[in-house]
Structure 1
Amino acid sequence: MDWIESGGGPLLVAPASQLAHWTGATDDDAVETTGDYGRACSVEGEIGLVTVGSLDGLVLSGPATTTFLPDERLFVRWEAADSEAGLLTAAKRLVHDAPWDETLTWQVDGPVVLIDSAWPGSAPEPGNHLTIDLAPARYQVRAAFVQDERTWTVLVQLQL
């Protein structure tokens, strides 16, 4: 699995067609308060939307290392787990009874890219971005914190 990390802030899932419009954090920005990175940091809760070019990007709040399971259309955020295998097994099981407490609607025009929101979209951090092949659609996005005896994770699922 490819896991994407942040330098301490939120992650961004942006339409690939609009990614170059994302400036991330710049030297002129007061970190976490202005610019594109500041807009991502201002999202309250686990998920939110910010404008990226002519579409919206999906913000995954907090610095949790994250991957995407395409068959489940599921972002898995590593909060606490003994192993990758244990986390993924738990996520696939826990998704069925997750207490979805946040939802939003997100329109995409095709593939999206998961990046550290502090990086500019025109030059994502080498080795730390993930292209996700999504069909153009309007997705219902839902998020939940779930846990079992050995795993804590935030799940973010895209539904058609």
Structure 2
Amino acid sequence: MTLGIRPAVLAGDSLYWTITGNWRAVLEFDLNRLSLAVIHLPLDKFAYCELWNITVMPAEGGGLGLLLVSDLTAQLWNRDTDCDGVASWVLRRTIELGELLSLNSEERQFVMIIGFAQYNNAVFLQTDISLFMVQLDSLQFKKFPEPYMGRCCHPFESIYAAGI
């Protein structure tokens, strides 16, 4: 078991990483309790996903979310807790990447998540021919002119608080 190559994501009061290995899971570090927990991903929902096509992200309204890319489809999942305190994964939204990015669905397209910009809620996707940044709230995207041949990118984001 090893941590994924992507940086941690802050959601609520915890940091989250994907765990790679023989099973699919998320490692949670609770910043208030200073404790670690492993959140197993249910095989009935995530068994078919490749480890490079799943990333943790903040869920809408806080908490833990997942982004899963399979073929030309992106799925956004939330980890919800019911009134009895039982947590489960709920599919929140599906995005047809082939239509959005005008990818040719006739040809087999390789799509891989290579980065996530948490504060802009944007995902970086590598395809056979190009690199795209997709803003998940507005579904606006940018196609970069040069192909990117890496397995991971760490988007730089900064927050500036104006002085008095």
Q: Which has the higher helix share?
A: 1
Larger radius of gyration: 2
TM-score (norm 2): 0.28
Richer in strand (by share): 2
